[in-house]
Amino acid sequence: MTEQATTSAVRHEVRVPLDRERAFKLFTKDIGSWWPSDTHKISEGPVSEVFESHEGGRWYEVAEDGSQCTVGTILEWDPPARFVMSWDLTPDWNPETDLERATKLEVRFEDHDDGGTRVALEHRGFEAYGESGANMRVQVSGEGGWPTLMNLYAERAAA
């Protein structure tokens, strides 16, 4: 990926039966159609997911009362090939205001010879949080983490 990968990075990929443009749009702009906001949220109560499709944009939750919680900030935007964002949450799932310390998430969309798209996710930079970062890595790499989330995305793409 763009930065030197570390051994602590979490990687997961899926193949979806969509062309790159549609796969990219589903992952980003249409994130609310597949992200499980009932179980994977920071805010209290029902939330909706918003993904601003440009460099400097945010992925954030909007709660019923209108309050917002930023999940990430778009650092690089190259549709339909890839995007990189800071993961603006600490290992305790609180907002991270220091983007230098935040972990990074990169998602690539590559043509697959079956006409679909290979979507490869890499979440890296956990070492910035020391032992807490190692715990965060375990959480995002295990059940309910990126493997589960990427499979939900793939299921939505196939529907």
pLDDT band at 158 (very low <50, low <70, confident <90, very high): very high
Note the pLDDT of residue 154: 98
Note the pLDDT of residue 1: 47
Q: What DSSP assignment string belongs to 64-102?
A: TTS-EEEEEEEEEEETTTEEEEEE-B-TTS-B---TTTS
Note the pLDDT of residue 100: 86
pLDDT in tens, 90-122: 999 999 988 889 999 999 999 999 999 999 999
Note the pLDDT of residue 97: 86
